[in-house]
Amino acid sequence: LIRFDLLQTVAHAVGTRHGGISTPPYDTLNLGYGTRDEEYRVVENRRRFVESLGVARSSVVAGRLSHGTQVRTFRSSDHRSLNSYVTPVRSVSDRREAFFDADAAVSDVPELFLLLTFADCVPILFADRRRGVVGAAHAGWRGTARGIAVEVVRTMRREFGSNPRDMVIGIGPSIGPCCYEVGGEVLAAFAQSGLEAVTRQSNGSTSLDLWTTNERQLLEAGVAPENIENKRLCTSCNVDDFFSHRAEHGATGRFGLLIGRG
């Protein structure tokens, strides 16, 4: 498990691919329902991941990802039951897990845990220790080009009165600039949004640095540099420990991010 020193006061972890029951190419802790893995294995893997962190499955809300920039808010002052926060699960009742349709969420609800899944996109964890708010984002190139990390900061400000200076951020394992050659479509998306893409050039090819790109967006949003912990850990270079969509040519699993106030 990957943990962040800056986030010690909140319950959180980013998982690896170890400790599950899935067989290649999903070996072994595949948490992705969207993969072609057998569903009962994904259900068991999700149970193992969540329970290994001491969290009940009934306390988890999981993002159904679409590479958008919507941020879902879970607010304790609403005094709503967990089930009312989420899209009802219409099939496979034994999943015992609730979903929300977004790539990011923020919450100040005690005992509620946010779960997102990854295989190269950037896991970003947020906490405002003063206000007792946590957040999580799934930032691929599309989300990064549209500023999803900044959308989370904005949502925490708007919904909870958070000051970016009070926020601590963890940037988890994802594909690094060492392995992430990109084409014109990706750079055009940044040009269109007006956000900076931090890139490396070598031998006529361009690689995108999603870590630094997201970090710069967060700094511009007012987060203090000493409050960002960037692991700079490449999933594609470390495919023994993490799933990597690029390194494994799309046939791979998903590892998880879990965060909550605890």
Binding stretches for Zn ion (CB under 5 A): 176, 178-179, 234, 236-237
Report in angstroms how near the CB of residue 219 gets to Zn ion at its nearest.
23
Beta-carbon contacts of 23 under 8 Å, excluding residues fewer than 6 positions away, are 41
Taking the complex as a whole, how short is the minimal distance between the CB of residue 134 and Zn ion, in angstroms?
A: 28
Element (H, E) at 228: strand 228-230
Reading the block at residue 10, the tokens are 């909140």
Quote the CA–CA distance of 145 and 148 in Å, as a whole number.
Answer: 8
**Nearest CB to Zn ion, comparing residues 140 and 164:** 140
**Closer to Zn ion at the Cβ: 155 or 235?**
235
CB of 96 to Zn ion, least distance (A): 36
C-alpha to C-alpha distances, 98 to 58, 64, 95, 246, nearest whole angstrom: 8, 10, 8, 29
Strands (E), 76-211: 98-100, 104-107, 113-118, 122-128, 133-139, 167-171, 181-182, 199-202, 205-208
Instruction: Show Cβ contacts of residue 147 under 8 Å, excluding neighbours closer than 6 positions.
Output: 69, 193, 195, 217
CB 106, CB 70: distance < 8 Å: no
Q: Which is nearer to Zn ion, 107 or 252 (CB)?
A: 252
User: How many angstroms separate the CA atoms of 70 and 148, rounded?
Assistant: 8
> Taking CB positions, which residue lies at the least distance from Zn ion?
234
Least distance to Zn ion, CB of residue 248, Å: 13
Q: Which is nearer to Zn ion, 55 or 182 (CB)?
A: 182
What is the closest distance, in whole angstroms, from the C-beta atom of residue 180 to Zn ion in the complex?
Answer: 7
CB of 205 to Zn ion, least distance (A): 14
Residue 45 or 236: the one with the smaller Cβ distance to Zn ion is 236
CB of 122 to Zn ion, least distance (A): 13
Nearer to Zn ion, 112 or 234 (CB): 234
Which of 17, 49, 22 is closest to 37 using CA atoms? 22
Supply the DSSP symbol for 238: T
Identity of the residue, 48 or 231, whose beta carbon is nearer to Zn ion in the bound complex: 231
